[in-house]
């Protein structure tokens, strides 16, 4: 099926992309997620998040990290890549109960694992020409939903089956990770506005951490102004409307539960996700 005027137009071998990963350790800010938490603690919100149960994390050696669940024992953590995770950063994750990591990147994007956490690799793109380089967020998300349902569902199934805390990441922790986390939350009954607000919190963390690497990457391409703007948005931003488009595609495909069940998720796994999402309220 043709994508609706949002098709990602270029890609590069994933190893070439990972070689330019920024070493930037951007100042950490809790503002995006603090605002999110305050919003969902308002009396008029039907689904109110209890204080601290959705929060930003500062983990040495990664960025764009957020946790869902109890303060000292969350059930889900999302972040950017762990390639530069320090000893202190690994200890901080272990203190939260994280022992299992789901890495959504392609084989060529992943260097040798430098930490001691168990890693489950579930590459989402599985494309011979590597990860998307140019195009739109909407096009990438629609492509994944229409062609990578089995991989998306496999990642959500690992989240549902984890006995302790699980961390999900890709490179920036906003696109592949954003879709998987959104599907897990929605499958558990989380309201869409909550999922959209969590997704939108990624951009302010990703942009300072990835700007140098992305700017260098795009400088090697011949792009007009519109293409460059789309590419910068693709790599650095997380606007609500991008995920809204993905959710519209998901509705067309039957909604999150039908989408995931058609790709193997069981009633028992849906119950686990529902219990974990319910515990946030």
**Domain of 78, in residue numbers:** 10-17+29-278
**Per residue in 214-255, pLDDT tens?**
999 999 999 999 999 999 999 999 999 999 999 999 999 999
Full 3-state SS string of the chain: CCCCCCCCCEEECHHHHHCCCCCCCCCCCCHHHHHHHHHCCCCCCCCCCCCCCEEEECCCCCCCEEEEECCCCEEEEEECCCCCCCHHHHHHHHHCCEEEEEECCCHHHCCCCCCCCEEEECCCCCCCCCEEEECCHHHHHHHHHHHCHHHHHHHHHHHHHCCCEEEEECCCCCCHHHHHHHHHHHHCCCCHHHHHHHHHCCHHHHHHHHHHHHHHHHHCCCCCHHHHHHHHHHHHCCCHHHHHHHHHHHHHCCCHHHHHHCCCCCHHHHHHHHHHHHCCC
Give me the number of domains the chain comprises.
Answer: 1
The mean of the pLDDT values for the chain is 85
In a domain, 24, yes or no: no
36 assigned to some structural domain: yes
Whether 86 is in a domain gets the answer yes
Whether residue 115 lies inside any domain: the answer is yes
Q: Does 2 fall in a domain?
A: no
Q: Residue 86: give its domain's CATH number.
A: 3.90.190.10
Q: Tell which wins on pLDDT, 54 or 151.
A: 151
Task: Say if 261 falls within a structural domain.
Answer: yes
78 pLDDT exceeds 50? yes
Domain-embedded: residue 3: no
218 part of a folded domain: yes
Q: What is the pLDDT of residues 96-146, one digit of tens each?
A: 999 999 999 998 888 888 899 999 999 998 765 567 888 899 999 999 999
| CB 152 within 8 Å of CB 124 | yes
């Amino acid at each position: 099926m043709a994508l609706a005027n949002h098709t990602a137009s270029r890609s590069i071998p994933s190893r070439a992309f990972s070689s330019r990963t920024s070493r930037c350790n951007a100042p950490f800010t809790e503002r995006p997620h603090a605002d999110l938490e305050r919003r969902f603690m308002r009396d008029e919100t039907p689904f109110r998040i209890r204080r601290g149960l959705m929060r930003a994390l500062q983990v040495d050696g990664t960025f764009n990290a957020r946790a869902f669940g109890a303060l000292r024992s969350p059930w889900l953590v999302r972040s950017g890549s762990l390639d530069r995770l320090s000893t202190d950063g690994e200890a901080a994750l272990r203190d939260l109960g994280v022992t299992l990591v789901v890495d959504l990147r392609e084989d060529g994007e992943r260097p040798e694992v430098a930490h001691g956490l168990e890693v489950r690799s579930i590459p989402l793109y599985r494309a011979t020409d590597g990860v998307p380089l140019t195009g739109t967020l909407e096009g990438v998300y629609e492509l994944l939903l229409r062609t990578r349902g089995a991989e998306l569902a496999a990642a959500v199934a690992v989240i549902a089956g984890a006995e302790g805390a699980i961390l999900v990441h890709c490179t920036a922790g906003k696109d592949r990770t954003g879709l998987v986390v959104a599907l897990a939350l929605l499958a558990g009954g989380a309201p869409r506005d909550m999922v959209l607000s969590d997704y939108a919190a990624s951009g302010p963390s990703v942009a300072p951490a990835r700007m140098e690497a992305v700017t260098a990457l795009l400088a090697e391409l011949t792009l007009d102004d519109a293409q460059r703007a789309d590419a910068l948005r693709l790599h650095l931003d997380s606007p609500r409307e991008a995920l809204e488009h993905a959710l519209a595609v998901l509705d067309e495909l039957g909604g999150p539960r039908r989408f995931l069940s058609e790709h193997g998720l069981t009633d028992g796994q849906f119950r686990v996700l529902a219990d974990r999402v319910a515990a946030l309220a």
